[in-house]
Structure 1
């Protein structure tokens, strides 16, 4: 009986991956990144928005946007995922080829590699499968791989997974994140994932829109107008009387575009933005008393 049970469990681990669709339309991931040196937080939302064909392969189209300041996710504002037979691939737009991301056929003791640069095996991140288990979320049974890195690439990559859950992906981030050597280490975490069948939350909660929650806490302290803006953005922080603050404006991929220091808090501040390209931007205001306020705006 014990042998039969073990054989059945092994069979389930082999076949269960083929029953799950990767990135169904509307599937949404929410991630958090934290810089330990100062507690700066960044939130990312990734959503499956459609289908396309690349090099003859059926792909899911994923788009991301975030709130907060970091290089977290800057390489992947829009990307393409292909899956089949228990494997997941992402389309590397730099070298025009598909790179393997996950392989849910792997068993304990097996290894796999995630490429970090085109055609450069030395910079691939290697992992060994420590264990494989099953997790039930909303009656859906998913395979879970616990993994450990076995090599460190020459460049600084962060966001390595410790667990990879079928359909959800890494509990850190979908991809390893490239950061310059000068950047402080960040921590990464999958806060929640949702689609028509699965609702995963860590820690458990009733909602999944972390980006909206983050911005809601700061919106009442900032007034910016007009929004959208074309030439001048006006910032009103008149509640912070006699408090100086700094202003930084970032693109949605974390590039600093405008920086102002020692701005007096009891005045309305006008910022010329005519030279910015059209798109979505994040304004971060840091006061001398330690407050960090953030809000999004659109440059026409």
Structure 2
């Protein structure tokens, strides 16, 4: 019933967008996506080319999840997640996220109602989002937790985020005016509220971004102290000998979390299925060959297919 209702509502929603932007002399286009569209590399590249052409025509893409066909396993979860993945698709330079609050508060508003708004965040990766935001919203439709998670993903691509109160009139233009980019709209002062989230100092490759966030991890691989040290400080790949436990059901090429003592180190693409990995975990290379034969990979996860500190 919800998917049928979405089919009815999508047309009405686009009529509203068309009407508003036509008043400003701008055409709009509807783009409906499922996570599978971004997971399949060829479809991802086709979508990127479509976005590039629309922007070349000065047509504004209005993007939404294709709720009429999307299944739970392939849902983005919320629009913040979808928006963060579009940064890579559209090769954006800035991520603006509008919210009902005045910006990012310095403490959980449920516990500290008078917490001030942070005007900037230097390193979003260092924030304890659970403590700061009171955890993720149960309905999975946004909230500051998911907005900061999206900002963290954007920062990994070297893209800054501007979180603004969307109910303020002309808020985007006024924010740009406060930064000296353009004059403020007539009758309005430059806007100084909101939170600026700085980008990462060293951007990851767009391919690594794509492989890390193309889908939710299907399982987990637990590693020992030596493997964790090699991954974090030596830029190594994950070898079978460093794996001490395997959780979940995944196939070869599946996306998995890499955990050390319960803490997530990152995500990567596994060269082995879960049953195969359970047979060879903790073993040395010659021992792996004795079990699987010569047709095996030296690495469980190659470093080129591993993203440390992934925002998942």
Band of TM-score, shorter chain: under 0.3
After TM superposition, the score normalised by the length of structure 2 is: 0.23
Identify the structure with the greater helix proportion. 2
